Structure 1
């Protein structure tokens, strides 16, 4: 961890962020500094190798800075990388609610040595929302237990849940369980994962922006075996046109069972009828 002050920095910064209870954090480009510094391992270039490694993996933007000293330490880089959840360019119009300043002990000429944080209110993007990503790796869970867990997660409010085959340590076969969670459901869903999977650790990637296409449900009437059926078709829109569409599964399955025909036959007939209807309306490219 380094010196005691690094521990104090981490605890203080995390406590401050937790007390603010914000929905996300945007970090402006980080100034790095230049030159050389002397540490426990000798002379090293600025920015320090640890700082470079952390920022390289974070996706945060940086600027060189115009001072011959270290402007961003590994501890500072780690905090910014962990806290950042939103790109500044994605914020859009915002209202400043509060502002805070933290001053350092240095007094460089030409600029104040302060860190400024602003509490903003941002209008949510119409074409998206923000979600938490929950992940855990398991290698001792049966397929039946996985299927049951995924179903329970969806029942408890997950936006999506999946199990991805993975090769674990020592070559064991396992799964990466990934859940897309509304922020207000994260605690509930992590509880389901822990109880059903017996996992000892769940990673949470907080407040990821998710693009969501405009969606509508369009009723489509189709004739099958001499009978008319009306089945809902879920449509995704982009640029005023339908970009994708799919018959609603439960209704399609119920029709297939009642008629005694394969599901794919019903789905294909509904998709063909939907395509003709949408082309006639001018909302789907031929």
Structure 2
């Protein structure tokens, strides 16, 4: 089994832009204690502004969450400056490409949480929950069970409208209106999950990492997060098996296909 509790993979080498898709889009997060938020905000904003990048960087005492886009040399230059800080030395970044800039402006903000769950006692930076790699998950789903023979269920931690754009086959969908609704929904359904291997998933990993900690706190013994989220699953599995539809993203592209390219808009029903 390759499910494990380990740090994310180290950053990959800088990518080369496809000829017809000159804009590099990155997303990344890390739960790490930060105690210099105003200075860090100003430094990261100045670096991104100087490189003419657009997107959003969220900072909180619990860590960083970012979505940025621009020419690849500019994006990789900003990442190099971020990684010069020892707290982000091996910061990974998920990549996709687009023909145009998908963000309208640059925002670097300090927030109470980098993803809001309204559980201030939850401390993701202190212990990363067990994660299952995309390839291992695909193998489990092919088999219909994990390596110990337990049935595998996929638990979507995203909002209902995101699920409507695409999801794993037979995934549990509690029609969440906001991520803060997840703990109560999980508590209400906990007993039905006790004898199963539960894999929480989200777009890029940040929500399902917090969700996995809540699952552990509620005594679900075989709970994991999907390492890197849906976007990493698209990147590391051939054809994104067991996935149907696209992935909703919070920029002007709105939908990414399993190829990690912008998807064609869905026709109305």
Same fold per superposition (TM over 0.5): no
Q: Which of 1 and 2 has greater Rg?
A: 1
Which of the pair is proportionally richer in strand?
Answer: 1
Between Structure 1 and Structure 2, the one with more helix by share is 1
Classify the TM-score, shorter chain: under 0.3
| Alignment TM-score, normalising by the size of structure 1 | 0.25
